[in-house]
Structure 1
Amino acid sequence: MSEMIELEKLYSPSYWNKRYPRDELIQKYEELISTLSNDTRHEIACNLNIPYGNGDKRKLDVFGTDLPTDAPIFIFIHGGYWQEGNKDLFSYVARSLHRHGCKTIIIGYTLCPQCTLHEIVSDVQLAIKVCLKYALENKTKCISIGGHSAGAHLAISLFPKFYTNLTNDERKLLKSVFLISGIYNLMPLVKTTINDPLKLTEVEAENLSPMFWNFEHVTDTSPKFFVIASENDSPAFVKQSELFANNLKKQEVPNEYMLLEELDHFNIIEKMADENYVIVKSIVNSLA
């Protein structure tokens, strides 16, 4: 029992922040990003709730519709352990990027237990295809994709099979992938309450874990991967990021590992509203 409790804590990032008690952190985080996102939807020209499939959640938002048609695009996938959160909480990600002349597309997706994790992966792939179609029609200069936490898992799940099945024109658009405080080995989650709505078996968890995938055959045309961890995140998340970056390096996939000091699982993504934030600058530089 004590081992299970320890595992539960290890995969609960809010336990590890050094700023607030756990419940207070979550409340402050949600209040902050909700306010920032509400302001963003009023301040930046946007096209909201564009359907890419059936259902209330299979929608995406495009921010920066006032920018040049061919402006670069950053596509963001939110986290929440595939069971919480929604795209509306993350509109604020577009604020700083808009000031740098980049459009932002925020993807929503159906959550567990209303669907399976396999279905969520398929949802995100369908949404990306719609984004690529939009980009090609508008002669977009280039694209970056990013995700936070479970969203980082969904972003890397676009590789290698989905990516290698794209057209040459679609692959040429994609310059970078930002994996922020991600999780890449899902097997430890099977024995935690996190798995209650996911209902993953050990075999499914292993098959859905990018840590064990072969990326070697995408290296010739691959975008650059940024694997980013925060110093005050759960040690399990930090270790998974480090191991995953090393796995990519061994397979000669272009990547950069970044460990951001004095940040935790939550303010590492909160700070995306700051146009001088290191991740924002890295995204903009990758799209230059």
Structure 2
Amino acid sequence: MDEDSTQIQVPEIVEELDYQYKTANWLIKSREPFCLGNDVRKQLLSLLRKQSEFSRTLFKDRGVFKVPFSESIPIEDEYGEYALDWFPPADESIIPTNIVVYIHGGYWQLVGWEESSSWAVPITNAGSIFVSLSYRLAPQEKIELMPQRLCVGMQKVMNLTHKMFNNLDDTKLRITLVGHSAGAHLVLEMIYNAHIQSVPNKDWMRCLRNLVLISGVYDLRPIINTYVNKAIKLRTEEEALSVSPIRHFMQHGPNLLLSKPLHWLVAWAEYESPAMKGQSESLVDLLSSVSKRSEQNMHVEYTYETFYMTNEDHFTSLLGLHNGPTQSTMLKKILDLINTR
């Protein structure tokens, strides 16, 4: 993927696969964003932007917004930016012990900083720090570089948190990484990259406790025959597998995704295509298979659970997080997780 991306030839679209991976085809028609108009993606972005603007306005005096990950990484162009928003707990008297870090989706080519802080408020109301990490998008950014640079963002999160709370005890700090759709893919690839480059990432990895993976994409091989691949430009199944988190379960030797005692929460919505549901179900099968083998050898280090979001689709499950735990079962599940682990 080193040559000019405009010259890369990608596989042809397969109509059935393309239909399965167009999330807009599977939405609940009576609910937002589908009910708002024909351009579902435009409506979704507008709603996420309004929710994010609400969050930033509420914390305009205490939050820190659009912070670049690093001076050496370009922050902004028309293809997005590597930047973070940081929100403290709503209660100013709290010394936080939890940081919830969110990686947005958008098939690696849509959504950005403006839309990424949509559910900060209910997390901060629960006494936690909320951070959103946005990233540069395909086709201008290579998919394999995104997780590397998001790891730099995590290093910035740690530095900024210590700057804002100089009496923070790292030994009591717990990080929960949350990814939606393509963001769930990036969360797992961040874990892999953090193990490969362990020294600069040791601080945040030491604090990492939970992974929340919502309606994720973990095997990119089917994607090469869909509209999604026009931007990410994967040429072969082999190339797609090389950036797919499932490869770590298929290789001989240690699985770096499972080398730390993390708790995995794998969630998916009732109203999604069979292909999208299958992505999560296949990941759970892999986790289960490894867990059973590990139990026989008596060295299980990770735990996992699943969460089926009834009466939700790919977009309502995300939009609903803004409304708090009384209206979003997914948000309640996240809060229960960070309060007990």
Structures share fold, TM-score greater than 0.5: yes
Partner residue in 2 for 1:127: 153
AA in 2 matched with 1:180: I
Assess, with a 3 A threshold, how the Cα gap between structure 1 residues 156 and 219 changes in structure 2: closer, same or farther.
Answer: closer
Offset at residue 213 of structure 1 (A): 1.2
Whole-angstrom distance in 2 between the partners of 1:151 and 1:134: 22
Assess, with a 3 A threshold, how the Cα gap between structure 1 residues 198 and 168 changes in structure 2: closer, same or farther.
Answer: closer
Instruction: Please say if residues 143 and 175 of structure 1, whose CA atoms lie closer than 8 Å, have aligned partners that are also in contact.
Output: yes
- In our comparison, the structure showing a higher alpha carbon Rg is 2
Whole-angstrom distance in 2 between the partners of 1:161 and 1:150: 16
- Picking from 62, 84, 99, the partner of 2:86 is 62
- Picking from 103, 106, 111, the partner of 1:80 is 106
Does 2:333 align with 1:282? Answer: yes
AA in 1 matched with 2:65: L
The secondary structure found in structure 2 opposite 1:73 is strand
Whole-angstrom distance in 2 between the partners of 1:28 and 1:218: 35
**53-62 or 178-187, larger mean C-alpha shift:** 53-62
**9-18 or 44-53, larger mean C-alpha shift:** 44-53
Partner residue in 1 for 2:177: 145
5+ residue gaps, structure 2, are: 1-11, 292-301
**13-22 or 256-265, larger mean C-alpha shift:** 13-22
Per-residue CA deviations over 1:216-264 (Å, capped at 9, x if unaligned) read: 4554632101111001012111111011011112222411111111110
Per-residue CA deviations over 1:25-79 (Å, capped at 9, x if unaligned) read: 3343223222111111101231011111321211111012664343411000011
Whole-angstrom distance in 2 between the partners of 1:156 and 1:190: 20
AA in 2 matched with 1:154: L
The secondary structure found in structure 1 opposite 2:130 is strand
Partner residue in 1 for 2:15: 5
Partner residue in 2 for 1:159: 191
Instruction: Please say if residues 154 and 204 of structure 2, whose CA atoms lie closer than 8 Å, have aligned partners that are also in contact.
Output: no
Aligned residues with identical type, % of pairs: 23
- Picking from 26, 38, 49, the partner of 2:53 is 38
Instruction: Please say if residues 96 and 275 of structure 1, whose CA atoms lie closer than 8 Å, have aligned partners that are also in contact.
Output: yes
Whole-angstrom distance in 2 between the partners of 1:26 and 1:273: 18
5+ residue gaps, structure 1, are: none
Assess, with a 3 A threshold, how the Cα gap between structure 1 residues 126 and 5 changes in structure 2: closer, same or farther.
Answer: same
- Picking from 114, 122, 125, the partner of 1:99 is 125
Offset at residue 175 of structure 1 (A): 1.4
Whole-angstrom distance in 2 between the partners of 1:14 and 1:129: 35
- Picking from 20, 24, 32, the partner of 1:14 is 24
Whole-angstrom distance in 2 between the partners of 1:128 and 1:251: 28
Instruction: Please say if residues 242 and 257 of structure 1, whose CA atoms lie closer than 8 Å, have aligned partners that are also in contact.
Output: no
Whole-angstrom distance in 2 between the partners of 1:247 and 1:171: 23
Assess, with a 3 A threshold, how the Cα gap between structure 1 residues 89 and 78 changes in structure 2: closer, same or farther.
Answer: same
Assess, with a 3 A threshold, how the Cα gap between structure 1 residues 229 and 185 changes in structure 2: closer, same or farther.
Answer: same
Root-mean-square deviation (CA, aligned residues, Å) is: 2.5
Provide the aligned length of Structure 1 versus Structure 2.
Answer: 288
Offset at residue 3 of structure 1 (A): 7.8
**87-96 or 72-81, larger mean C-alpha shift:** 87-96
Partner residue in 1 for 2:4: none
Partner residue in 2 for 1:224: 263
Per-residue CA deviations over 1:169-219 (Å, capped at 9, x if unaligned) read: 543411111101100010111122211121112222111111221374554
Q: Using structure 2 for the length normalisation, give the TM-score.
A: 0.77
**183-192 or 209-218, larger mean C-alpha shift:** 209-218
Assess, with a 3 A threshold, how the Cα gap between structure 1 residues 130 and 260 changes in structure 2: closer, same or farther.
Answer: same
Assess, with a 3 A threshold, how the Cα gap between structure 1 residues 105 and 157 changes in structure 2: closer, same or farther.
Answer: same
AA in 2 matched with 1:50: V
Matches within 5 A, 1:173-212: 173-202=207-236, 203-212=238-247
Assess, with a 3 A threshold, how the Cα gap between structure 1 residues 110 and 219 changes in structure 2: closer, same or farther.
Answer: closer
Instruction: Please say if residues 215 and 314 of structure 2, whose CA atoms lie closer than 8 Å, have aligned partners that are also in contact.
Output: yes
- Picking from 235, 253, 273, the partner of 2:322 is 273
